[in-house]
Structure 1
Amino acid sequence: MPDGSSTDEVPETPDLTNKSVIKATVLLSELGRHRSGITVTELAQRVGMTRPTAFRLLLSLEQTGFVERTDSKYTLGWEIARLGRLADPYRGIIARVQPTLDTLATQLNETIGYAVVNGETDFDLVAEAAGSRMLTVSQPYVGQEYPLHASATGKMLLAELPDERLEALLPEKLPALTRYTITDRAELLRALHETKELSYTTMDNEVEEGLFAVAVAVRDEAARLIGVISANGPSERMKSGRLPYMVERLQRAAGTIATNLTQGPSPR
């Protein structure tokens, strides 16, 4: 062309997103962190909006049942609860954690699992990724239940609890799954204290002979335990000097997962 401009320029894709909808979801995400309620002024400050914008969106959300207001404080509404019951609780989580699990499985060449923490003693293994070794953990463990005292993930949950709670929760004599299972409550408490110091936990032939696992915590912005990521494999291979490297990689992956799960949409 005479003016020297290129004819290969690709036109910009128009932004079809609705900014008001995005801002509304930001408000809902933040409201979920304040179960006892929060004022519009506090909410606006936390998400980086002007107070009039936040108030206008909250008013609309209140009319449709997504938000409730008591006096001057706002909370999530009944419509959020209704829709939540209809949704798959783990579908969105799996999509956000699976790429990290796949990458880690390739790096460590072992089976990687991710468990969602539902309560102080309740967790669900929801996602896995496997390495390429011929000798590996080939049995699918997603959806299965595991004893708290004999699994790496379970011990990570127990390590969050004070000794008084553990003594009330656990019997003095715990059931043995293998000859290596920790069956003495006092011994288990000592192991849990070590977990707190090391920031990881292991399962050494305790739930199944020949199987070793190492796990680290996934925490949200408030340092609350929201999940556990673990590496599993044959004990002989897992214990051959690789543990520090595996822990370091697991901790990196835990940080990535925490960001992916807790990072809300931008209000801008």
Structure 2
Amino acid sequence: MSTPLNGSILKAFSILRLITKERPDISAKTVASELGMTHATAHRLLLSLEEAGAVVTYRRGSFSLGPVMEELGSVAKASNRIAARISPLIEELALGLNESVMVSRLGRSGPTCIAVAASSRSISVNISVGTVLPMASSAQGKLWLAGMESAQRAQWLQDGQTSESLDLDQIETCGYACNRGENEPDIGALSVPVKSASGEIVFTLSTFGMLHRFDDPMVVRSLPVLLAMAERIKALLVRA
């Protein structure tokens, strides 16, 4: 049985995400309207966030991000050194393949993008850092599933999904996975694992773009390049 989540904490972070560059201040009315809660609940949560230093108010009823969030942001940037070191490598790869490239790790809800390099094509596909991909219909998710034991796989698979229907054994044997429109129509992807020195998958390295470009010849051309870059990223992890 999974551990129950704290609803108040999730609501608090939903409130914080309402504050953006375009809208640096929010009110209880804004929170209540956009998150579907009562004005009293929104006001109570905002005051709690203010007490914690997560938000600050400079005029009555208006809240913006507080000093604690700035401090945490600085810590996050400092601790995300691996992603910063990976970025130049995947930019090089995106330039060489002429397609967008991303690195993901396995999060609580699925493969999560930690670094991305956009293609220079006039028409290309992009994704934001922090985006979570589905397990069974993404090339990245299939790789993670292929590397799992049966019991762990079962926790991720939904009704009707099996190792056989997803070709997970073949993916594990081949060492790569493809997505040809299963996740989003007209978008394809090719993904390889980045493994630790002990052989465990740490990240997935993927190239993605318009589906019509991701045919078999493209996979044949791109796979050795992706695998070579995965080894370079692995070397970074060893030195980190």
TM-score range relative to shorter protein: 0.5 to 0.7
Paired amino acid for 1:152: A
Distance in 2 separating the partners of 1:257 and 1:223: 14
Question: Which of 91, 102, 119 matches 1:131?
Answer: 119
Output the CA distance in 2 between the equivalents of 1:100 and 1:220: 18
Q: Secondary structure at the match of 2:136?
A: helix
Q: Deviations over 1:62-113 (max 9, x none)?
A: xxxxxxxxxxxxxxxxxxxxxx9x8327620121101110110010000000
Offset of 1:130 from its aligned partner? 1.6
Residue 156 (structure 1) aligns with: 143
Change (3 A) 1:150 1:162: same
- 1:236 to partner: Cα distance: 0.8
Q: 2:228 aligns with which of 246, 252, 263?
A: 252
CA deviation vs aligned residue, 1:119-157 (integer Å, no higher than 9, x gap): 7x74320111122211211x4332112110011111111
Structure 1 residue 170 displacement after superposition: 1.9
Matched pairs, number:
168
Could you say which residue in structure 1 is the equivalent of 2:98?
109
Instruction: Name the CA distance, whole Å, in 1 between partners of 2:163 and 2:202.
Output: 26
Instruction: Spell out, residue by residue over 1:211-252, the C-alpha distance to the aligned partner (whole angstroms, 9 max, x if none).
Output: 000100001111111101100011111216111121111101
Q: 1:261 to 1:209 in 2, by over 3 A?
A: same
Fraction of identical pairs, as percent: 25
Which residue of structure 1 aligns with residue 83 of structure 2?
A: 94
Tell me, yes or no, if structure 1 residue 238 matches structure 2 residue 226.
no
- Secondary structure at the aligned position of 1:149 is classed as coil
Give the 3-state SS of the residue equivalent to 1:242 in structure 2: helix
Question: Which residue, out of 152, 171, 181, partners 1:165?
Answer: 152
Partner SS state of residue 213, structure 1: strand
Q: 1:172 to 1:126 in 2, by over 3 A?
A: same
- Amino acid of the structure 2 residue aligned with 1:116: R
Residue identity matched to 2:146: A
Answer yes or no: is 1:143 the counterpart of 2:119.
no
Letter in 2 for 1:224: E
| Letter in structure 2 aligned against 1:192 | L
Name the aligned partner's letter for residue 239 of structure 1: D
Unpaired segments ≥5 residues, structure 2: 1-71
1:193 aligns with 2:182: no
Cα offsets for 1:26-48 (capped at 9, x unmatched): xxxxxxxxxxxxxxxxxxxxxxx
**Contact persistence 1:172–1:186 (CA under 8 A):** no
Residue 50 of structure 1 corresponds to which residue in structure 2?
Answer: none
The TM-score normalised by the length of structure 2 is 0.63
Shift >6 Å, 4+ stretches:
none
- Contact 2:94 2:117 (C-alpha < 8 Å) held by counterparts: yes
Could you say if the C-alpha distance between residues 134 and 169 of structure 1 is closer, same or farther in structure 2, counting changes exceeding 3 Å? closer
User: In structure 2, do the counterparts of structure 1 residues 240 and 206 end up closer, same or farther at CA, with 3 Å as the change threshold?
Assistant: same
Alpha carbons of structure 1 residues 234 and 240: separation in structure 2 relative to 1, 3 Å: farther
Q: Cα distance 1:186–1:196, how it changes in 2: closer, same or farther (>3 A)?
A: closer
The one-letter amino acid paired with 2:87 is: Q
- Choose which of 178, 186, 196 in structure 2 pairs with 1:202: 178
Q: Considering only aligned residues, what root-mean-square deviation do their CA atoms show, in Å?
A: 2.3
Over 3 Å counting, the alpha-carbon distance change for 1:167 and 1:124 in structure 2 is closer
Separation in 2, partners of 1:220, 1:166: 20
Larger Rg belongs to? 1
1:220 aligns with 2:199: no
- 1:154 is matched by which residue type in structure 2? G
